[in-house]
């Protein structure tokens, strides 16, 4: 890796900014970051990063900061790294947005996002491109525009999503290159996996259950553990349903995984999952990829998933509320006649 790889990174929030920092400080990559709401703040003052891995860094900027996706005739990127929230129920999709920059059969697409089946829209649209999976175990949030508070160390598991048109070895080799590039700074723990589905399902035991329960109740993970019988009546049953769905798909998760995930962070860290942050910021939530997809996988194979079903439909209603708040959907005014003539 002599010449720096050109990386386009879309979504500089909690996860994306630390990913950009790791890639830049590693010395093997030059990052062009596509920003949206924090663009003008970053252009003037840079990011203020408070990181448990990197320390306190005021005024930090990646190599380039832009506010639109560049076209492939402007710059030819080796990698497009996506670290946005994943909300396929809100168009346009990210697979459509990155089209101007993708060179068929060349650009490597890297999804550092939670959830299941997230690669499908990319493999459908770019069948000849390698798509990498990044399962991130970080705790990092944008607490004010361009202020990143990173309190739980960055651990990233990289592998290639299975692409039926490409050899597994080709994807694995590119995944190894990405691990080397991401780990260059020595300040992060980034490892390769040849078993992407296992790691995605294992992380879902946490994300499909704790993220929605915290988002719906407004409680952090420590308070969920303190609150009466919430773990035994809600959290553990939901986790058991995810483990059963994984088994139906052919993935055997380690026994005791539910307890490991419940206790994965110290209780008094009072960790706030990303979905809780989103609801409190009025952002849309990732309910389809975190809850909807594992639910559909399980239900279609005959697994009984009553807890996850209720969580899913509650989140769906919350998403509708969030869309109304953001002006994404129109709601008839009070007393207004509806199209069918009723009020």
Ligand X SMILES: CC(C)(CO)C(=O)C(=O)O
Residues in the site for ligand X, rule: CB under 6 A? 114, 137-139, 206-207, 211, 271, 273-274
With a CB cutoff of 8 Å and minimum separation 6, the contacts of 340 are none
How many beta carbons lie within 10 A of that of residue 218, not counting itself?
10
Nearer to ligand X, 16 or 171 (CB): 16
CA distances from 52 to 48, 148, 201, 226, 272 (A): 13, 11, 27, 26, 16
Residues 6+ apart with CB under 8 A from 233: none
Structure tokens at 72: 């492939």
Q: Of ligand NDP, ligand X, none, which one does residue 86 interact with (CB within 5 to 8 Å by kind)?
A: ligand NDP
12 binds ligand NDP (CB under 6 A): yes
State which residue has the least CB distance to ligand X.
274
Query: What are the start-end ranges of the H helices in the chain?
Result: 14-26, 39-45, 94-97, 120-125, 168-183, 196-207, 210-217, 221-226, 230, 236-249, 257-262, 274-281, 287, 293-299, 306-325
Which one of ligand NDP, ligand X, none interacts with residue 131, CB within 5 to 8 A by kind? Answer: none
- The one of ligand NDP, ligand X, none whose footprint includes residue 271, by CB under 5 to 8 A per kind, is ligand X
The reply on whether position 139 binds ligand NDP by CB under 6 A is yes
Q: Which of 184/273 has CB closer to ligand X? A: 273
**Is there binding between residue 142 and ligand NDP (CB under 6 A)?**
yes
The site partner of 206 among ligand NDP, ligand X, none (C-beta below 5 to 8 Å per kind) is ligand X
Query: How far apart (Å, rounded) are the C-alpha atoms in residues 28 and 56?
Result: 22
| Binds ligand NDP by CB under 6 A, chosen from 6, 22, 32, 84 | 84
- Report the distance separating Cα 33 and Cα 39, nearest Å: 10
Helix, strand, or coil (residue 78): coil
Of 218 and 332, which CB lies nearer to ligand X in the complex structure? 218
Closer residue to ligand NDP (CB): 94 or 303: 94
To ligand X, the closest distance from the beta carbon of 277 in angstroms equals 8
Binding residue (CB under 6 A) for ligand NDP from 51, 136, 177, 307: 136
Q: Are strands 55-60 and 47-51 parallel, antiparallel or unpaired?
A: antiparallel
Stretch that binds ligand NDP, among 102-110, 140-148, 249-257, 297-305 (CB under 6 A): 140-148
Q: Which residues bind ligand NDP (CB under 6 A)?
A: 10-16, 34-38, 83-86, 97, 113-114, 136, 138-142, 274, 286
């Amino acid at each position: 890796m002599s010449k720096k790889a050109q990386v386009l990174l879309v979504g500089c929030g909690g996860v994306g900014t630390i990913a950009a920092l790791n890639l830049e400080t590693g010395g093997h990559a030059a990052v062009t970051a596509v920003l949206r709401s924090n663009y003008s703040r970053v252009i003037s003052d840079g990011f203020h990063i408070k990181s448990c891995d990197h320390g306190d860094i005021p005024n930090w900027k990646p190599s380039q900061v832009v506010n639109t996706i560049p076209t492939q005739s402007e710059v030819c990127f080796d990698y497009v790294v996506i670290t946005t929230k994943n909300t396929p129920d809100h168009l346009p999709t990210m697979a459509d947005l990155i089209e101007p920059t993708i060179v068929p059969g060349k650009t490597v697409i890297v999804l550092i996002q939670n959830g299941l089946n997230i690669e499908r829209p990319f493999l459908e649209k770019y069948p000849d491109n390698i798509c990498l999976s990044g399962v991130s175990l970080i705790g990092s949030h944008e607490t004010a525009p361009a202020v990143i508070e990173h309190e739980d160390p960055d651990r990233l598991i990289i592998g290639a999503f299975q692409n039926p048109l490409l050899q597994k070895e080709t994807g694995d080799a590119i995944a190894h290159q990405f691990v080397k590039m991401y780990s260059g700074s020595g300040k992060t723990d980034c490892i390769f996996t040849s078993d992407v589905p296992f790691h995605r399902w294992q992380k879902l035991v946490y994300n499909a259950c704790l993220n929605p329960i915290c988002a719906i109740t407004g409680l952090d993970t420590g308070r969920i553990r303190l609150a009466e019988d919430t773990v035994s009546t809600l959290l553990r049953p939901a986790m058991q349903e995810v483990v059963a769905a994984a088994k139906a798909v052919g993935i055997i998760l380690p026994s005791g995984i539910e307890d490991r995930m419940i206790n994965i962070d110290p209780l008094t860290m009072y960790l706030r999952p990303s979905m809780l942050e989103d609801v409190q910021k009025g952002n849309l939530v990732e309910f389809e990829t975190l809850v909807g997809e594992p639910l559909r996988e399980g239900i279609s194979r005959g697994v009984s998933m009553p807890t996850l079903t209720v969580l899913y439909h509650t989140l769906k209603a919350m998403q509708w509320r969030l869309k109304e708040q953001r002006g994404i959907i129109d709601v008839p005014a009070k007393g207004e006649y509806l199209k069918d003539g009723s009020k």
